[in-house]
């Protein structure tokens, strides 16, 4: 099930999916998440939404990165992932997007259920 979520203080909907997904997954404000990612990015000399930056941040918070089985790499969607994970909190990554999945619900500011999951984080 898709649940609309956009905690961007300006109501913006583009470019901050990593911040939104992490803040939703960790139940923290958009501002706290953005600042934390900026600090992490500063340490890495990279942008806060770079894969290596937000992965490092999540690792420091006890999250583990997991791979998607290679049985159908182009057809395993966010909706498939959500259906197979009815319990728990996850952050799924696609080629260009990050989305929070809580207890089988897709938490995002648009219905990203048709996007293909490439990897995910769980805690």
pLDDT given at position 73: 63
User: If we measure between CA atoms, which residue out of 35, 1, 43, 39 comes closest to residue 19?
Assistant: 35
Residue 87 placed within a domain: yes
| Residue whose tokens read 């966010």 | 78
Q: Is 114 among the domain residues? A: yes
Classify residue 60: in a domain, yes or no. yes
Q: Is residue 92 part of a domain?
A: yes
Instruction: With respect to residue 7, please indicate whether it lies within any of the assigned structural domains.
Output: no
Cα gap 45→107, rounded to integer Å: 30
pLDDT at position 63 is 98
Degrees (nearest 5) of the Cα angle 50, 1, 87?
75
| DSSP H or E stretch at residue 91 | strand 89-93
Contacts of 45 (CB under 8 A, 6+ apart): none
Is 2 contained in some domain?
A: no
Total structural domains in the chain? 1
The pTM of the full predicted model, rounded to 2 decimals, is 0.94
Q: How far apart are CA 53 and CA 5, in angstroms?
A: 23
Domain assignment of residue 25, given as a range? 17-122
- Specify if 6 maps to a domain: no
In a domain, 52, yes or no: yes
pLDDT tens, N- to C-terminus, the chain (123 residues): 999 999 999 998 889 999 999 999 999 999 999 999 999 999 999 999 999 999 999 999 999 999 987 777 678 999 999 999 999 999 999 989 999 999 999 999 999 999 999 999 999
DSSP state of 70: T
């Amino acid at each position: 099930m898709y649940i609309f979520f956009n905690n961007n203080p300006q109501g913006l909907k583009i470019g901050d999916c990593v911040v939104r997904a992490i803040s939703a997954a960790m139940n923290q404000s958009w501002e706290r998440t953005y600042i934390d990612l900026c600090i992490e990015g500063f340490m890495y000399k990279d942008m806060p939404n770079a894969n290596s930056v937000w992965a490092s941040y999540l690792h420091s918070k006890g999250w583990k990165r997991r791979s998607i089985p290679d049985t159908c790499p182009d057809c395993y969607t966010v909706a498939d992932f959500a259906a197979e994970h009815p319990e728990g909190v996850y952050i799924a990554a696609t080629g260009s997007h990050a989305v929070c999945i809580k207890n089988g619900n897709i938490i995002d500011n648009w219905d990203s259920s048709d996007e293909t999951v490439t990897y995910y984080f769980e805690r």
